[in-house]
Amino acid sequence: MIVTKTRTLVADYSKLPVRAGYAVKIDDKEIALFKVTNGKVYGIENRSPHPKGGVLTEGLVSGEYVFCPVYDWKISLSDGKVQAPDEGQVKTYQVEVEGDNVYIIS
Ligand code: FES
């Protein structure tokens, strides 16, 4: 079976804020983009895995982690894993940057 991936242009790299979230939508999925200090861009589902489901673009970014604005869970931007002592995981998306174009591969 051949699985085809879709590359969707979602943002201008130069307009992404550093160390802050930026929400984009693909179909019905809301994705949070985060440009970290080293310039890398991560894409994760824009919902905390906690039952309260905080919006992660409103969280605080530190290094390669975002802290959920509701109960402060620490979530890895690279693999989506919630750090101990809490647990859970958010979906991560592959991001590609080409010039000023930021794409999500899904
Ligand atoms: S909503 Fe509770 S930690 Fe995010």
pTM reported for the whole predicted model: 0.93
Instruction: Give CA separation, 6 vs 22, 37, 41, 53, 94, in Å.
Output: 20, 27, 18, 27, 11
From ligand 1's centre to the CA of 73, what distance in Å?
A: 6
The conformational region for residue 70 under phi > 0 = left, psi -120 to 50 = alpha, else beta, is: alpha
Looking at residue 50, what DSSP letter applies?
A: S
Residue to probe by mutation, ligand 1, list 44, 45, 50, 82, most atoms within 8 Å of CB: 50
- Atom from ligand 1 closest to the CA of residue 56: 4
Query: Residue 54 — very low, low, confident or very high, per pLDDT cuts 50/70/90?
Result: very high
How high is the mean pLDDT of the chain?
Answer: 96
The answer to whether 93 touches 84, Cβ cutoff 8 Å, is no
Fold of 7-105: Rieske Iron-sulfur Protein (2.102.10)
